[in-house]
């Protein structure tokens, strides 16, 4: 029984993940303290503050992290907070421009560099250079406009001119944000990470080195819930995520029951 053809397991997973996508079950969302912390941090910022949102992911983790980016951007724009977008992941820089355009369009914000700037990717030790001179580090935004000419960047010199840095990633780049902008330049750091990385970053949350942590797609769904955006991709994905988790728990239980039944049978035959 344990040597079942794995293709049947794959088929069951496929069905379990697909059905909630179609029927969209509306389960209640319970928020976590680490997500509430980031929400409160952004709520506490005065109108016109500047925030760095670094979209440090590539297409492989986009389904888990882009909903976070969208929810955070929505929150910032609703509160009148200006956002400097960037990425530390070359393969992800074209994802950033899409999410900024989409959310700005929803809020009728023109792409004139007043409320947001998306600078894309730069090679080198960018986090270190940003601590000294952001304009010199990036020089232009993603569509090659001189950063000095954009209204949001007037009076900006370096990291000190930003209230909060948020990095969304599926890699260990979060440590660099904690080490450089966080420890070296004393900035407040919040992270959004894929589900598998959450446990790595929890110690930094408890030590106060992080002011918020969004854990995987659940974190995105919780943030959407907090800002009252119930139609987001995070919430939509929670049905499939719930079904997949339940199925894996069920498979573990079934696998163990069969395993112990087999062992009992072996013992009985041995006697």
Q: Of residues 208-237, which lie at the interface with another protein (CB under 8 A)?
A: 215-216, 218, 221
Minimum CB distance to another protein, residue 121 (Å): 10
Beta strands 213-215 and 82-87 are: unpaired
Interface with another protein, residue 61, by CB under 8 A: yes
Residue 51: which residues within 8 A CB-CB, separation 6 or more? 42, 45, 76, 81, 82, 83, 84, 162, 163, 164, 165, 166
Residue 84 Cα distances to 40, 96, 141, angstroms? 20, 11, 10
Query: Residue 220 CB: number of other CB atoms within 10 A?
Result: 31
Interface with another protein, residue 139, by CB under 8 A: no
Whether the CB-CB separation of 213 and 38 falls below 8 Å is answered with: yes
Question: Could you tell me which of 94, 224, 108, 86 has the C-alpha nearest to residue 167?
Answer: 86
Interface with another protein, residue 22, by CB under 8 A: no
Interface with another protein, residue 262, by CB under 8 A: no
Residue 115 is classified by DSSP as S
Residue 25 is classified by DSSP as -
Size of the site for another protein (CB under 8 A): 66
Residue labelled with tokens 């790595």? 200
Interface with another protein, residue 95, by CB under 8 A: yes
What beta strand segments (E) does 76-140 contain?
A: 82-87, 116-121
Interface with another protein, residue 245, by CB under 8 A: yes
Interface with another protein, residue 128, by CB under 8 A: yes
Residue 13: which residues within 8 A CB-CB, separation 6 or more? 244, 247
Binding piece for another protein, criterion CB under 8 A, among 40-48, 68-76, 124-132, 147-155: 124-132
Which of 84, 138, 142, 177 is the binder for another protein (CB under 8 A)? Answer: 142
Q: d(Cα 108, Cα 111) in Å, to the nearest integer?
A: 10
Tokens representing 90 are: 């070359």
Q: d(Cα 48, Cα 115) in Å, to the nearest integer?
A: 9
**Closer CB to another protein, residue 44 or residue 199?**
199
**Closer CB to another protein, residue 3 or residue 108?**
3
Q: What is the x/- site pattern for another protein, positions 170-209, by CB under 8 A?
A: --------------x----------x--xxx-xx--x---
**Closer CB to another protein, residue 51 or residue 239?**
239
Binding piece for another protein, criterion CB under 8 A, among 42-50, 148-156, 161-169, 251-259: 251-259
Residue numbers at the binding site for another protein (CB under 8 A): 2, 4, 6, 9-10, 12-14, 17, 27-30, 32-33, 58-63, 91, 93-95, 97-98, 101, 123-125, 128-129, 132, 142-144, 184, 195, 198-200, 202-203, 206, 215-216, 218, 221, 238-239, 241-249, 251-252, 254-256, 259
């Amino acid at each position: 029984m344990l040597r079942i053809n794995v293709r049947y397991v794959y088929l069951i997973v496929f069905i379990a993940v697909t059905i909630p996508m179609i029927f969209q079950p509306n389960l209640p969302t319970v928020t976590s303290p680490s997500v509430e912390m980031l929400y409160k941090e952004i709520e506490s910022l005065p109108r016109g503050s500047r925030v760095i949102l670094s979209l440090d992911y590539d297409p492989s983790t986009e389904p888990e992290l882009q909903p976070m980016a969208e929810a955070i951007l929505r929150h910032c724009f609703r509160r009148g907070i200006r956002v400097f977008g960037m990425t530390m992941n070359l393969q992800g820089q074209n994802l950033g421009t899409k999410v900024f355009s989409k959310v700005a369009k929803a809020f009728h914000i023109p792409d004139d560099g007043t409320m947001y700037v998306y600078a894309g990717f730069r090679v080198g030790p960018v986090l270190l250079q940003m601590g000294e001179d952001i304009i010199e580090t990036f020089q232009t935004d993603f569509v090659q406009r001189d950063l000095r000419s954009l209204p949001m960047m007037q009076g900006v010199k370096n990291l000190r001119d930003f209230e909060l840095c948020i990095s969304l990633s599926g890699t260990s780049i979060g440590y660099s944000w904690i080490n450089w902008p966080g420890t070296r330049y004393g900035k407040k750091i919040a992270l959004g990470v894929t589900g598998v990385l959450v446990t790595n970053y929890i110690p930094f949350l408890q030590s106060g080195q992080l002011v918020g942590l969004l854990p995987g797609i659940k974190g995105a769904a919780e943030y959407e819930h907090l800002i009252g955006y119930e139609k987001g991709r995070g919430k939509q994905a929670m049905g499939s995520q719930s079904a997949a988790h339940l199925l894996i728990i069920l498979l573990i239980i079934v696998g163990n029951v069969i395993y112990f039944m087999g062992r009992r049978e072996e013992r009985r035959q041995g006697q």
